[in-house]
Structure 1
């Protein structure tokens, strides 16, 4: 049985989701994501399949939900006047703390994958941030640069979380900031979100 501890300030009704996420993490210690079943997840935490499906579409939806919780924390930092570097460090620190979970999750790259989900979230975040700071939707060329940058960011995140690249969250964040295309660097500097 998975231990019952929840993040501070948990919203009412999310305890079940966190319980299922903890169970999924436990299953990942011995089984690949593709081979984990909803039955395993629910039996491990003493819940029913019906409860699982009331909360999630499938196990990948659960993984993406849990990742969203981590990303929200790192994005909040940027919204509080922090830099892209600070937000990336926070994101990678959270991922590092959940190494087993994210190593297994990022290895899967098919339907409803965390890689695609992470890409969509960070692209939308950067585009919304630009829109908030400038009052207009990013131009098409900026959108395409953001797409390239976000894809390469995900690629390096996967290499790092799966152990192909070894460095600290700070070093990885520095690499990603240094690897940002020139036009994005100029724009982000102008918007005062790069240090």
Structure 2
């Protein structure tokens, strides 16, 4: 299957997963239900994804890429976060179901890994040097906290607009980490 058609199939499978999530918790959705909803085969599903969590993580990756692709090229952490939260808001049903799941390949863990790698790469490429252990610690702590607050927001436990949530997360950044981000023009 050519790359473009494979990408289209992945999006079709993601749409089918979203439809299934409207009525069924993630843990109870089967690959059989996803492929029946999509009108394809299990073989096609497994050619594209390891399991339903791999599909959820792939879709989330696409959203993150879209939200953060221009950050650092004139776009700040705040602007990247607003974009991410606006998209999550449009797809709230999907994310509410996905973030509720604590199964393997958990979206919270995946988000933590992606965000931490993203910020690490930005800091190291813009500064031209490896992050110190102390800065890594602050970054990991900050990313864990920001994901927790994102999940609270998605589940409706924290009321805020995408802009308010992004502002709160930027303001909550540890002082030393914020200083590094500021010096690299990321906030």
Give me the TM-score of the superposition, normalised by structure 2: 0.97
Runs of 4+ in 1 over 6 A off after TM superposition: none
Task: Name 2:185's counterpart in structure 1.
Answer: 192
Q: How does 1:24-103 map to 2 (within 5 A)?
A: 24-103=17-96
Q: Deviations over 1:117-173 (max 9, x none)?
A: 000000000000011111111110000100000000100000000101111000000
**5+ residue gaps, structure 1:** 1-9
CA distance in 1, matches of 2:89, 2:113: 21
C-alpha deviation, 1:12, in angstroms: 4.1
- Per the normalisation by structure 1, the TM-score is 0.93
Q: Is the Cα contact below 8 Å between 1:77 and 1:86 reproduced in 2?
A: no
Task: Kindly tell me the number of residue pairs found equivalent between the two proteins.
Answer: 185
Is the Cα–Cα contact under 8 Å of residues 118 and 154 in structure 1 kept in the other structure? yes
SS at match of 1:154: helix
The worse-fitting range, judged by mean Cα deviation, of 60-69 and 11-20 is: 11-20
Contact 1:42 1:48 (C-alpha < 8 Å) held by counterparts: yes
1:110 is paired with a residue whose SS is coil
Q: Does 1:125 align with 2:115?
A: no
Once the two structures are TM-superposed, the CA of residue 78 in structure 1 deviates from its matched residue by 0.5
- SS of aligned partner of 2:12: helix
The answer to whether structure 1 residue 108 and structure 2 residue 101 are counterparts is yes
SS of 1:109's equivalent?
A: coil
